[in-house]
Structure 1
Amino acid sequence: MTSPARPPLRLAVVGHVEHVTIGRVAAVPRAGEIAHLEAPRWFPGGGGGVAFWQLARSPAEVLLYTALGDDEAGAQVERALGAAGARVRVHAARRAEPHTRDLVLLTPDGERTIVVVGEPLHPRADDPLPWGALAGCDAAYFTAQDPAALRAARAARLLVVTARRREALARSGVAADVVVGSRLDAREVSARADYPMPPAALVLTEGAAGGIIETAAGVERFPAPPSPEAVGGAYGAGDSFAGALVFFLAAGLPLRDACAAAGRHGAAVLRAVDPRDGQLPLEAP
C-alpha cells in the first residue's frame, strides 16, 4: 500500500523588497568620476526579495509579507511579485512614500557595490496583514525590523532570522531556530553568545571556504560547493543561500546537510548578473 502524499510545504518570507537596478561598470567611480552602467536591468530584490524568488522556485506555497511605496516603482514591484507563480501569496502593506530603490554596480570580478535610495520599507505587526497565517507555516524567514512582527513569525514551526536583524531579535524576546549570515560581512558576523536569547544554531557562510555552524554543542564546518567557472555577479548569493536553507530545513534535512545543499544554491547565483537567472530549482530530498 502506498503512503499518502505529503502536503506541500508552506513557507513565509517577512521583509523588505527593493526596486533594484543592476548593471556592470568598469570600476566603482572615485570622487569626481562618472561610471556608465552597462546593460542595466531591474527586478524586485533586496534581502526579502531575493530569498522570496529562491523559494518561489520550489514546490512549496510561499507567503510574502512586505511593504510597498505609493509610486510607480512600488507598482512595478507589486506586479512582478504577483506574477511569480500560482503558489505565491503576496501580503503587502501600503506606505504613503516612494518605494525604495537600489542601484547595484557590478565590477568585472563580479563584486557588487550597492547604493540604497531611501529607507527600506518593512512590514509591521500593526499592518492589517494576515499574520495569523504564519502559525500554519512550516518555516518563516525574517529579514524585517519590527520585533512584534518577528514575534508573529515565531508562530511558524521553524524560524530562521538573518543576522542583520540581531537588534530586532534581541528586542523581540524570542529565540530563533537558526540565525544565518556571512562571516565576511561586518553587519552579520556574530556568535551565539551575542544574542540575549541564543538561537538553537548560528550559521555563518565564508564564501569559497564554506561556513560554520555554532550550536550549544560547539562549532562545526560545512563545505562549499565548487565555484562556477564564469562569474556574473555576487549580488544575491547570500540571500539565495538563506532562502534555500529555509526550504531544506523545512523539508527535514539535518542542519549540516541543509547548509551544504543551500551552498550550491548560493554559488549558482554567481553565474548571473540578475540573481534570478542563476537560482536553481528547489526540490525536497
Structure 2
Amino acid sequence: MSPGSAPPLRIAVIGHVEHITLGRVPAVPRPGEIAHLEAPRWFPGGGGGVAFWQLARGPAEVHLFTALGDDEAARDVEAALAASGARIHAARRAERHTRDVVMVTPDGERTIVVVGEPLHPRAADPLPWDLLGACDAAYFTAQDPDALRAARAARLLVLTARRRPALIRSGVRADVVVGSAVDPREASALADYPVAPGAVVLTEGSQGGRIETAGGTVRFPAPPDPGRAGGAAYGAGDSFAGALVYYLAAGLPLPDACARAGRHGAAVLRGTDPREAQEPLAPP
C-alpha cells in the first residue's frame, strides 16, 4: 500500500467448502445405470468455496471462516485454500470432510450428489469472530444463527437466500439477500422475512434479474453472452454473489453492483472449473 492510499477492503466469507469432484457425463444416469465422469477434476467448492475463490481474485483482504474434517479430503481442501493467499480460519471436526460429485451434461447443466452433510463454522468454535466487526462486508452461507449474529457486526451483511431459516432464527437484519429466482430453495420476497432485509436480489439467468426493496422492484440487465461453448453452469450463482459483495463493499449502488456482478456469474459459463473461468475483480 502506497503512502496516503486507502487500505484494502476487508471481506469475510462464512460458510462451507466441499471437496468437489466434477466431470462430464453424456446424461444423468437413470435408475440402474452407471455414469462415468469424463475428464474429472477436483477443487474446493460449494456455496462458500466458490464465492471465496471469486473474492480471492480481487484486491480485497479476504477472510474465510469455515470448518474442516479430519481426513485426506480435508487436508487437500486446506492446502488448496492456503495457497490462495487469503486468511483461512477453520474449525476442526472429528469426521470425514464433505465430498460432492458434480455431473455436467452436454447442455452445461449440473447435477450434484453431496456425500455427507456440509461442515459449517459455528459461533462456539474458537475462531476470531471479533474480526468481523472490522470487516467492510461479510458474505454468509453457513447455518448457525449465532454465527450470523456475529457476522452482523460487519459494515455490510450479504446472505445467500438458501440460509433464510438461519436468518429468521437469528433475528438480525441482512442488508442484502441474494439467490436465484428459478431455485425453489432461494426464490423469496421481502414479505417472507419477519425482519425484512434491505433488499432481495434474485438472478434470472439470461434475463438478468430483479431487486426488491421497500421502495418497489427494479430490474438489472443480463450480462453480454459469455460464449458458453460447452461450459458448465456450476458456480455461476456463487460467483455472482461473491462479486456482488465486493462491488457493494466498494461503494457501488445496488443496481450497478448487480450489473457488474452479472458479468462474473456469466464468465463461469465459459469453462468447467469455476476457478479457471472466474474474472478478476477490480475497483469500480
* TM superposition score normalised by structure 1: 0.98
**Aligned with residue 216 of structure 2, among 205, 215, 218:** 218
Question: What are the superposed Cα offsets for residues 83-131 of structure 1, whole Å, 9 maximum, x if unpaired?
Answer: 002xx10000000000000000000010000000000000000000000
Q: Which amino acid is the alignment partner of residue 75 of structure 2?
A: A
Higher mean C-alpha displacement, 153-162 vs 3-12: 3-12
The counterpart of 1:149, out of the listed 144, 147, 165, is 147
**Secondary structure of 1:36 counterpart:** coil
- Aligned to 2:102, the other structure's residue is in SS state strand
Equivalent positions of 1:50-65 (< 5 A) are: 50-65=50-65
Compute the displacement of 1:3 (Å).
9.7
Q: CA–CA distance in 2 between the matches of 1:185 and 1:3?
A: 47
Larger mean CA deviation between 229-238 and 113-122 belongs to 229-238
Deviation sequence 1:35-93 (CA, Å, 0-9, x none): 110000000000000000000000000000000000000000000000002xx100000
1:182 deviates by 0.2
AA at the equivalent of 2:29? P
Runs of 5+ consecutive residues of structure 2 not aligned to the other structure: none
Q: Distance in 2 between matches of 1:281 and 1:231?
A: 22
1:139 matched to 2:143? The reply is: no
Amino acid at match of 2:74: G
Instruction: Name the residue aligned to 2:29.
Output: 29
Q: For structure 1, which segment, 32-41 or 3-12, has the greater mean C-alpha deviation from structure 2 after superposition?
A: 3-12
Matches for 1:265-284 after TM superposition, within 5 Å: 265-284=264-283
Task: Establish whether residue 71 from structure 1 lines up as the match of residue 77 from structure 2.
Answer: no
Output aligned runs, 1:72-221, within 5 Å. Answer: 72-85=72-85, 88-221=86-219
Amino acid at match of 1:222: F
Map 1:42-57 → 2, pairs under 5 A:
42-57=42-57
Letter aligned with residue 67 of structure 2: A
2:132 counterpart letter in structure 1: L
Give unpaired runs (5+ residues) of structure 1. Answer: none
Q: Which amino acid aligns with 2:269?
A: L
Partner of residue 9, structure 2: 9
Residue 226 of structure 1, CA deviation = 1.7
Task: Give the whole-Å Cα distance in 1 for the aligned partners of 2:230 and 2:172.
Answer: 39
Q: What amino acid maps onto 1:33 in structure 2?
A: E
Q: Distance in 2 between matches of 1:74 and 1:91?
A: 14
Shift of 1:34: 1.1
What residue identity is the alignment partner of 1:196?
Answer: P
- Number of residues paired by the alignment? 282
4+ runs deviating over 4 angstroms:
none
2:247 and 2:260 map into 1 onto residues whose CA distance is 8
Change (3 A) 1:65 1:108: same
Identical pairs, percent:
77
**Given residue 168 of structure 1, which amino acid in structure 2 is its aligned partner?**
A
The 5-angstrom pairing of residues 224-263 of structure 1 reads: 224-229=222-227, 230-263=229-262
Distance in 1, matches of 2:213 and 2:35, equals 45
Q: Give, in whole Å, the separation in 2 of the partners of 1:194 and 1:123.
A: 26
> Match of 2:200, SS?
strand
